[in-house]
Chains A and B, each alone.
Chain A
Amino acid sequence: MARPLRLTAQVLAVGLVAALLALLIWRVAHNDKGVSQALRDGEQPTAPAFDLNRLDGQGRIDLASIRGKKPIVLDFWASWCVPCIHESKRLEAARKQYGDRIEFIGVDTKDLSSDARTWQRRHGITYPSVHDGSGNELTKWGGLPIPKIFFVNRSGKVVGELLAEEDLPRYLRQISSS
């Protein structure tokens, strides 16, 4: 191979390897660990915003427009998720007590919207839900498994995730007084 051609090929190969390396470093540096992991690391991250269609077809819910104005309870659920029934019913009951001070929002994720609407009717869940069929929003909050329930204070910071039964009253009191 002629010398200039070989030199060009070598420069291209080195350039390609450098570009791939840079891409890898960028990916590692920008790897969003999700809200769940941030909470486990002792952080209180700002609630990631979303703007999704409501399940009931009555427009959209833009979390950014609520975040920072009112405390929020965010419930990730799906109609195929059996444990979600119990948790969503608990939130529905809690809403009767805190509904004037706290915004309760459901995020139906990786689910068929028609099945999800039937599920809400069947289990008497009345707080509004948005549809996150692709699960992209769920990924930002930590991914599967569900149910995943988060508590956002009035400043828009996520202060906790429901991991045990007693977390619900504790976090509800905390964010309602924030």
Chain B
Amino acid sequence: MTRILLVVLAALLVAPVARASEQHPTLAELEGEVMCPVCGTTLDQSNSPAALQIKRAISTGIAAGQTKSEIKQRLVAEYGEAILAAPRRKGFGWLAWALPLVGLSAAAVLVGFGAWRWSSAREPEPVAAPLDPALERRLDDELARFE
């Protein structure tokens, strides 16, 4: 119960931050979410002329009061989806987010199933057959000689 409350509390704390980030994005956070089209890195790791051009466009968008989604949408319209460091959580982009989770879940199910099959297929420990009474008597006699 305490755990559920903690999760709900964390979600309540994070939601306003995410909303603020969407409504009032900063250049620093967008630099980490947008790629430089000629360097293969995010903008924050590049000072190439092409990267600087996009940084200027982002700053202009922020100054004009655009939301993070609007700024990203404009960049996608100019450069295509590859300008985003991470695929968007809609349409075909969902696959990139969902596939690793599906793969991990499938692997966990397979390993669990395999382990269950392996453990249930093991032969039970053999039960020792009772000794012949004569042999048991003889064994007792032999052991008694050593006492």
Contact = CB atoms under 8 A, between A and B. Distances in A.
B49 A1 contact: no
Nearest to A145: B38
A135 interface: yes
A79 B53 contact: yes
Which range holds the interface residue count of chain A?
A: 10 to 19
Contacts of A144: 38
Contacts of B79: 110, 133-134
Nearest to B81: A134
A80 B52 CA distance: 9
Contacts of B52: 80
Given A80-B48, A136-B80, 13 more contacts: A2-B117, A2-B121, A5-B117, A80-B50, A80-B52, A81-B49, A110-B50, A112-B54, A112-B78, A115-B53, A133-B78, A133-B79, A144-B38
Interface of B: 37-38, 48-50, 52-54, 57, 77-80, 82, 114, 117-118, 121
Q: Which 4 A-B pairs have the closest CB atoms?
A: A134-B80, A80-B49, A110-B37, A133-B79
26 contacts: A1-B118, A2-B117, A2-B121, A78-B50, A79-B53, A80-B48, A80-B50, A80-B52, A80-B53, A82-B49, A110-B37, A110-B38, A110-B50, A110-B79, A111-B53, A111-B78, A112-B53, A112-B54, A115-B53, A133-B77, A133-B78, A133-B80, A134-B79, A134-B80, A134-B82, A135-B37
